[in-house]
Chains A and B, each alone.
Chain A
Amino acid sequence: MSGAADREAVFPTRQSLGLMKAKLKGAETGHNLLKRKSEALTKRFREITKRIDEAKRKMGRVMQIAAFSLAEVTYAVGGDIGYQVQESAKSARFRIRTKQDNVSGVLLPAFESYLTEGNNDFGLTGLGKGGQQVQRCRETYARAVEALVELASLQTAFVILDEVIKVVNRRVNAIEHVIIPRTENTIKYINSELDELDPAADAEMKAKREAQAAQGAKSQSEDTGPSDILAAADEEDVIF
């Protein structure tokens, strides 16, 4: 990004100088805001990473207990109840609703699990023997699924945040290392070009402008005040 090569293709005029200055200011404001957003997201991201770690450990434990409770069922019932449970389940007892969290303008889906009441499709499974174990196993697995849902919600947030943070950081870097230097270079270039312009022409232009300004002021002052039509006798005659 050195030298004259890295600048925008503008004509070195005062008008574009003004534009560039406005652009630089805008870029700096944007940079500040994006940087703050990136920091907020990163904070949230770290928090989520920590919670994922916890949730994964918890999941490991819970799944182990759940698998073991299934072994208990197998022991107590003395056979395979899988098919029976599958066939007698009619509607979902464990459900999920999603809601959205807003973190610095990023929408993160959060899954929330809940149990529907009074839905006990296979409550009679193992009535002859092992019924308690079946119910207990179901509760254990419900807890395991709860842990999984929590983990899923965190993982989704993790992926989305990761993506957004990448984009935001790219923007911050782009503004910081490309747009701002380039705009600054352009401003420098315009300034130097303006300085190099013929001082005479510059003075001429200045004089011209001053003259114009003076004339404008004069005509304006003439215009001001009520004009007396009658008093203007030295008017040229109108010839038809």
Chain B
Amino acid sequence: MEGLLFNVNNGYVEGIVRGYRNSLLTGSAYNNLTQCETIDDLKLQLGPAYGDFLASLPPNPSTSSLAAKTTEKLISEFRYVRANAVGSLAAFMDYVTYGYMIDNVALLITGTLHERDTRELLERCHPLGWFETMPVLCVATNIEELYNSVLIETPLAPYFKGSLSHQDLDELNIEIVRNTLYKNYLEDFYNFVNTHPDMAGTPTSEEMSEILEFEADRRAINITLNSFGTDLTKADRSKLYPSFGKLYPEGTLMLSRADDPEGVRLAVDGVHDFKTFFDAISVGGGPSGPGNMGGGSSDGKTLEDMFYQKEMEISKGAFTRQFTYAIVYGWVKLREQEIRNITWIAECIAQNQKDRIGNYISVF
């Protein structure tokens, strides 16, 4: 049924995004990249995919400028798609950008709290998370003003409402604010894709539910693992878990009680994917245990890597369905991973650490 009218409004955008997906780097392209001796070689190899954007870089550019330029390409493509989107797809794409907005707002709140000139922070904001009223955030000089008159005008206002007061912004760690917002955002997004008349019961809601559930579980696990050894209390921690996902509610309850990585392992035991992740790292993790991801185990994959891998597979899977908005989300995520991969390979080449260059994640 959804196929009947989908192409009337969204056919063009879907075609464009599928075209973009085909220009993603493939496994053999990555293989070529890892053979490069210098950043210039890398730039040359990236020519077919990123030629226009990398052309203005000086010879032997820094890895950060390389990352900035590759991000620029994603931004311009995203803006093009967004400009051509109408109706519920436009709203869906706005939802995609809210995640970046949260990061930008968190950055600006930090700046306001420390009474910095927030104008110079605007440059550091992620362009995908740009919204029209964002420069207005810089007008506010104290946190109460920011909360009462500025934040309320942003698209993020519903996420603040009810869970954060302006005193909270002042007192709570900015990371907690950020994660609270993100939790609200994920729940809202989940609700949006499952209740909106254009999406409920379509492949969009099926695919997006899978992606968002995974994202929610990943955040819950990460927050738990990262909070060990910090002054985040268990009660505060449990407030940061999104209230959906495969782990919810039993798994998150057990996560909120976990004291060590072993407790996390027990909590996620019920979900097959996560169980295999934890089994894999407890075999290869060595004495430092699964908590120390990205640690000394250079050969074995870390938990973070496996999460990324899984996310990429889900995003890739979204393209197997037709008539769905999820491909836009999947494409953005795949492109982000590609940028991270390129940056990683560039770093490895620049720092002469070739032994770990194969740590990138390629799904095509």
Identify 4 new A-B residue pairs, CB closer than 8 A, beyond the known A120-B230, A129-B222: A79-B126, A123-B231, A124-B175, A127-B175
Which residues from 90 to 127 on chain B have a C-beta closer than 8 Å to any C-beta of chain A? 103, 106-107, 110-111, 113-114, 116, 121, 124, 126
Of chain A, the residue at the smallest CB distance from B303 is A132
Could you say which residues of chain B place their CB within 8 Å of the CB of A129? Answer: 218-219, 222, 304, 307
CB distance from A91 to the nearest CB of B (A): 14
- Given contacts A125-B175, A131-B222, whether A74 and B347 have CB atoms under 8 Å apart is yes
Which residues from 48 to 95 on chain A have a C-beta closer than 8 Å to any C-beta of chain B? 64, 67-68, 71-72, 74-76, 78-80, 83-84, 87-88
Which residues from 244 to 268 on chain B have a C-beta closer than 8 Å to any C-beta of chain A? none
A89 to B110, CA, bound (A): 12
- Whether the pair B295, A136 counts as a contact (CB closer than 8 A) is yes
Which residues from 102 to 149 on chain A have a C-beta closer than 8 Å to any C-beta of chain B? 120, 123-133, 136
- Whether the pair B111, A71 counts as a contact (CB closer than 8 A) is no
Which residues from 329 to 364 on chain B have a C-beta closer than 8 Å to any C-beta of chain A? 336, 340, 343-344, 347-348, 351-353, 359
CB distance from A67 to the nearest CB of B (A): 6
Counting contact residues on chain A (CB < 8 A from B), the size range is 20 to 34
- Whether the pair A128, B110 counts as a contact (CB closer than 8 A) is no
Interface of A is mostly: helix
- Whether the pair A75, B110 counts as a contact (CB closer than 8 A) is no
Stretch at the interface among B13-21, B144-152, B286-294: B286-294
Could you say which residues of chain B place their CB within 8 Å of the CB of A127? Answer: 175-176, 178-179, 222-223, 226-227, 232, 240
- Whether the pair A128, B178 counts as a contact (CB closer than 8 A) is yes
- Given contacts A64-B351, A83-B121, A87-B114, whether A126 and B343 have CB atoms under 8 Å apart is no
A187 to B99, CA, bound (A): 94
A129 to B227, CA, bound (A): 11
A-B interface pairs (CB < 8 A), number: 102
- Whether the pair B114, A123 counts as a contact (CB closer than 8 A) is no
- Whether the pair A87, B223 counts as a contact (CB closer than 8 A) is no
- Whether the pair A78, B340 counts as a contact (CB closer than 8 A) is yes
- Whether the pair A124, B294 counts as a contact (CB closer than 8 A) is no
CB distance from B307 to the nearest CB of A (A): 8
Could you say which residues of chain B place their CB within 8 Å of the CB of A132? Answer: 225-226, 291-295, 304
- Whether the pair A126, B226 counts as a contact (CB closer than 8 A) is yes
A131 to B178, CA, bound (A): 14
A75 to B295, CA, bound (A): 14
Contact of B182 with A by CB under 8 A? yes
Of chain A, the residue at the smallest CB distance from B173 is A124
Could you say which residues of chain A place their CB within 8 Å of the CB of B307? Answer: 129
A130 to B353, CA, bound (A): 21
In the complex, the 5 A-B pairs of residues with the closest C-beta atoms, listed nearest first = A131-B226, A71-B347, A124-B175, A123-B230, A127-B175
- Given contacts A71-B344, A84-B107, A84-B174, whether A128 and B179 have CB atoms under 8 Å apart is yes
CB distance from B146 to the nearest CB of A (A): 15
CB distance from B193 to the nearest CB of A (A): 21
* 16 A-B interface contacts by CB (under 8 A): A64-B352, A84-B110, A88-B174, A124-B176, A124-B226, A124-B227, A126-B175, A127-B175, A127-B232, A128-B179, A128-B222, A129-B304, A132-B226, A132-B291, A133-B293, A136-B294
Could you say which residues of chain B place their CB within 8 Å of the CB of A68? Answer: 347, 351, 353
Contact of B229 with A by CB under 8 A? yes
Could you say which residues of chain A place their CB within 8 Å of the CB of B336? Answer: 78
Which of B111, B113, B175 has the most C-beta atoms of chain A within 10 angstroms of its own C-beta? B175
A88 to B172, CA, bound (A): 12
CB distance from B230 to the nearest CB of A (A): 4
Which of A64, A87, A126, A127 has the most C-beta atoms of chain B within 10 angstroms of its own C-beta? A127
A139 to B332, CA, bound (A): 33
Could you say which residues of chain B place their CB within 8 Å of the CB of A123? Answer: 229-231
A209 to B115, CA, bound (A): 95
A76 to B227, CA, bound (A): 17
CB distance from B115 to the nearest CB of A (A): 11
CB distance from A136 to the nearest CB of B (A): 6
A76 to B175, CA, bound (A): 16
Of chain B, the residue at the smallest CB distance from A82 is B124
- Given contacts A64-B351, A79-B103, A131-B226, whether A74 and B126 have CB atoms under 8 Å apart is no
CB distance from A195 to the nearest CB of B (A): 80
CB distance from B227 to the nearest CB of A (A): 7
B298-318: CB near A (< 8 Å → 1, else 0) gives 000000100100000000000
- Whether the pair B351, A124 counts as a contact (CB closer than 8 A) is no
A123 to B173, CA, bound (A): 10
- Given contacts A78-B336, A84-B107, A132-B292, whether A124 and B304 have CB atoms under 8 Å apart is no
A127 to B304, CA, bound (A): 13
A88 to B304, CA, bound (A): 24
Could you say which residues of chain A place their CB within 8 Å of the CB of B227? Answer: 124, 127
- Quick one: which of A72, A88, A120 contacts B294, CB cutoff 8 A? A72
- Given contacts A71-B347, A87-B114, A136-B295, whether A128 and B223 have CB atoms under 8 Å apart is yes
CB distance from A76 to the nearest CB of B (A): 5
A64 to B347, CA, bound (A): 11
Of chain A, the residue at the smallest CB distance from B291 is A132
